[in-house]
Chains A and B, each alone.
Chain A
Amino acid sequence: MSLPRTAREIRARVSARDVSAVEVCRDALDRITRLDARLHAFLHLDEKGALARAADLDRDRPADAPLLGVPVALKDNICKAGMRTTAASRLLEHYVPPYSAGVVERLERAGAVIVGKTNCDEFAMGSSTEHSAFGPTRNPWATDRIPGGSSGGSAVAVAAGMVPLALGSDTGGSIRQPAALCGILGLKPTYGRVSRYGLIAFGSSLDQIGPFARSTADLAALIGTIAGPDARDSTSAADPVPDYGAQLTGDIHGLRVGVPRELLQQGVEPAVMAAFEGALAELAGAGAIVTDVALPHASLAIPVYYLVANAEASSNLARFDGVRYGDRAEASTVHDVYYRTRAHFGAEVKRRIMIGTFVLSAGYYDAYYLKAQKVRALIRQDYDEAFRRVDVVAVPTSPTVAFKLGERTADPLQMYLADVFTAATNLVGLPAISVPCGVSDERLPIGLQLTGRPFDEGTLLRAADVMDRRRPIPSPDVETI
């Protein structure tokens, strides 16, 4: 009998002693080793640690372990004690965190096996994983194309079947966009749903950690594991964590789905638009009520996002000065240590620090940063208004399918537009899911994004599950790459 490859099957069969956690772990490590020379999803693989952990689980059999023996990959901006964590930056090339993130502690309590760290854009700044200091990750559906970003390595690790589950972080679309471009599920939880303790900060009013999976049942198991309050993150919410698995009823009869048509007027590829319309028809076929909804300020999400996120980034990245951790460029004064150490940031990180520093500087703060925060409040009002009439808002996750490596790296503004449909939900703190809804003629995946009310991840999972049941999409043929 073949080894299980979904979290649900792994947990059931490891619990029943039908397979061992060590066998499952070896299977994942073999597959990673075989495929990663081509895909480069991982920056660090901890074979020894993962196998030892799996052996411990086989021996101890912890009770109440919803992810017993399940291999999980972490985006490389999430700290695990003793495991190198670089955020795909030269500045942290040799950094080994002395503590674990809150989500890592929760994964370990749930019986998961953390196999390693995945590639991403440096400090999670990018939409293609090409801004990694350690080279790009490739899309398993077409290896001359980007996997999306910034959590591209985690998306590829799941899409290529290396691991059933992975964590990413999402500041402007960094979970949902790669999930869409790699043909898997990705969820950005409500702001505050998941502790950011131990996440290397980028935009602190926007960042959330969230799950990737190939099935809604697995996605529900992972968000249920990582959600909940943490005293070490003052923004984490005390709201009770529901049983997400119980939400997967298959019934969306009467669910009101709002479509902001005016937002989709320009820049959406025909194949994406066709798959999106097909997805709306599926939801309607399952009993949902699809109506138009207005989000008049959402078209400003990208300019607002790049002002707010970069302002926060310039502040958060001030800590990388070569003094307390990370690599230091030697110099004779501490002043020169700062300048020379920070010269090792990649070009995209420098651009963002520069924009953020500028919009927070004397004389420009009101015109840029304060103005952006006010428009942000208007975007939130639009969503509040929309959710009086509908239960979820539907848009394509990405306006295009996966683009080719190198196609947008010379034009930062073009790269930023990849987030045109995802950034708004971070600005307003709402949960959003990307679910596969088709493939293009060239067999490139397309994602549907559903945004919900605060802490209503359950409804998003239920709707995604209905899509998943009615329109399962194929897996990439990784054996040929």
Chain B
Amino acid sequence: MAEILTRADVERIAALARLELTAEEIALFAEQLSAILGYADQVQQVDTSGVPAASPTTPDATVFRDDLPLPCLPRDLALSQAPAADRGAGLFKVPRVLGS
């Protein structure tokens, strides 16, 4: 089967998905993902002209509720599972975002 995804493709997709992959994973995934996508190519054979793409499990009507403020998860509880947080300030903490 022709390789649908090259190693370079795998690296590009991994970057989009924010996944750090090892060299071994990149090689293995190029092969495995090509096989899976090759198998999935069967869908290309189907004539779908005029078929709507709506998800058939979506409810018929959009559900609305009144726009009323309701209690939500308290901030200290929301922060309780964070790897790093400033509880006093009520903030999640992360390392440097910009610059080198």
Contact = CB atoms under 8 A, between A and B. Distances in A.
A300 interface: yes
A350 interface: yes
Contacts of A416: 36
A237 interface: yes
A297 B10 contact: no
Nearest to A321: B18
B4 to A, nearest CB: 9
A354 B43 contact: no
Contact of A98 (B20, B32, B81, B94): B81
Contact of B5 (A297, A342, A358): A358
Contact of B37 (A98, A332, A355): A355
A173 B19 CA distance: 27
Contacts of A358: 5, 9, 13, 33, 37
| Interface of B: prevailing SS | loop
Interface string A317-344: 0100111111110011111111110110
Interface string B57-100: 11100010100000001000110111110000000101111000
Given A205-B57, A234-B63, A303-B39, A351 B44 contact: no
Nearest to B38: A413
B20 A340 contact: yes
Given A334-B94, A373-B53, A303 B40 contact: yes
| Interface of A: prevailing SS | helix
A351 B29 contact: yes
Nearest to B40: A303
Nearest to B76: A98
Interface string A359-375: 00100000110111111
A429 interface: yes
A237 B44 CA distance: 34
B2 interface: no
Given A331-B95, A376-B55, A428-B56, A354 B19 contact: yes
A206 B83 contact: no
Contacts of A90: none
Contact of B57 (A191, A367, A378): A191
A325 B82 contact: yes
Nearest to B5: A358
A374 B48 CA distance: 6
Interface string A129-145: 00000000000000000
Contacts of B78: 98, 324
B77 to A, nearest CB: 4
A326 B92 CA distance: 13
B3 interface: no
A63 B51 CA distance: 52
Contacts of A323: 82-83, 92, 94
A322 B35 CA distance: 31
Contacts of B5: 358
Given A375-B46, A413-B35, A206 B20 contact: no
A428 B56 CA distance: 6
A314 B17 contact: yes
Contacts of B73: 98-99
A231 interface: yes
B57 A354 contact: no
B43 A375 contact: yes
Interface string A36-60: 0000000000000000000000000
A334 B51 contact: no
A242 interface: no
Nearest to B77: A98
A71 to B, nearest CB: 27
Given A323-B82, A342-B20, A357 B13 contact: yes
Given A98-B73, A323-B83, A354 B44 contact: no
A96 B63 CA distance: 31
B56 A376 contact: yes
A96 B19 contact: no
A353 B18 CA distance: 10
Interface of A: 95-99, 191-192, 205-206, 231, 234-235, 237, 297, 300, 302-304, 306-307, 314, 318, 321-328, 331-340, 342-343, 345, 347, 350-351, 353-355, 357-358, 361, 367-368, 370-380, 412-413, 416, 427-429
The 7 closest A-B pairs by CB, nearest first: A429-B57, A328-B83, A374-B48, A380-B56, A325-B81, A343-B20, A339-B20
13 contacts: A321-B18, A336-B95, A337-B94, A339-B20, A351-B36, A353-B19, A354-B33, A367-B44, A374-B46, A377-B53, A378-B48, A412-B36, A428-B57
Given A333-B97, A373-B55, 19 more contacts: A95-B81, A98-B81, A300-B42, A303-B40, A324-B78, A334-B95, A337-B94, A338-B18, A339-B20, A343-B19, A350-B21, A353-B19, A368-B40, A372-B40, A373-B53, A374-B48, A377-B54, A379-B56, A412-B32
